[in-house]
C-alpha cells in the first residue's frame, strides 16, 4: 500500500460522515493487504536465504580448491532466470554493481558537519534600486 493510500484512509477515518460499515470494509481490506505483505516478505526471505547459502557454499568451495566453485551460485541464479546470457548483459551487470558499490560507500560516509555560529548571507543577482 502506498503512502498516499494510507493518507486517504486516515482522511476517510477522520471524516465524521464515515459509517461503521465503511470502517469494517476498510478493516477487511487492510487485513488482506497485511496478509499479502507478510506472504511476500516470507517469499523474499526464502529467496534471500537460498542466495546467501549458495554464496557461502561458493566461497567455501573456492577455499578448498573445488573444481567448479561457482556451481552453487550458478544453479541458484539459473533457477531464478538471473544468469547473464550475453556479453552486453555481463557488462551492464558489472556496471550496475560498480555503481551500487559507489552509492553504498557514499551512504556509509558520515554526514558533513554544519558550521556553527553566525551564517553569512550572500546577495546574488542583479542590482536593484529602490523607489524614492
Span 121-125, average pLDDT: 57
Q: Does 48 score more than 90 pLDDT? A: yes
Choice among 7-11, 85-89, 122-126 with the minimum mean pLDDT: 122-126
Would you call 38 helix, strand, or coil by DSSP? helix
Q: Which residue has the cell 459509517?
A: 19
Q: In degrees rounded to 5, what are phi and psi of residue 106?
A: -65, -40
Residue 46 is predicted with a pLDDT of 95
Mean pLDDT of the residues in the chain: 85
Backbone φ and ψ of 124, nearest 5°: -125, 140
pTM above 0.75, yes or no: no
Question: How would residue 111 be classed by pLDDT, with cut points 50, 70 and 90?
Answer: confident
Amino acid at each position: 500500500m502506498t503512502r498516499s493510500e494510507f493518507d486517504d484512509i486516515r482522511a476517510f477515518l477522520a471524516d465524521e460522515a464515515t459509517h461503521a460499515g465503511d470502517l469494517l470494509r476498510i478493516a477487511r481490506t487492510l487485513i488482506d493487504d497485511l496478509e499479502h505483505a507478510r506472504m511476500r516478505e516470507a517469499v523474499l526471505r526464502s529467496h534471500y536465504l537460498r542466495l546467501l547459502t549458495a554464496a557461502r557454499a561458493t566461497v567455501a568451495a573456492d577455499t578448498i580448491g573445488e573444481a567448479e566453485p561457482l556451481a552453487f551460485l550458478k544453479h541458484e541464479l539459473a533457477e531464478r532466470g538471473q544468469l547473464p546470457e550475453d556479453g552486453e548483459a555481463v557488462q551492464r551487470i558489472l556496471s550496475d554493481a560498480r555503481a551500487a558499490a559507489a552509492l553504498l560507500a557514499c551512504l556509509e560516509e558520515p554526514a558533513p558537519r554544519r558550521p556553527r555560529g553566525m551564517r553569512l548571507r550572500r546577495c546574488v543577482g542583479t542590482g536593484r534600486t529602490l523607489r524614492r
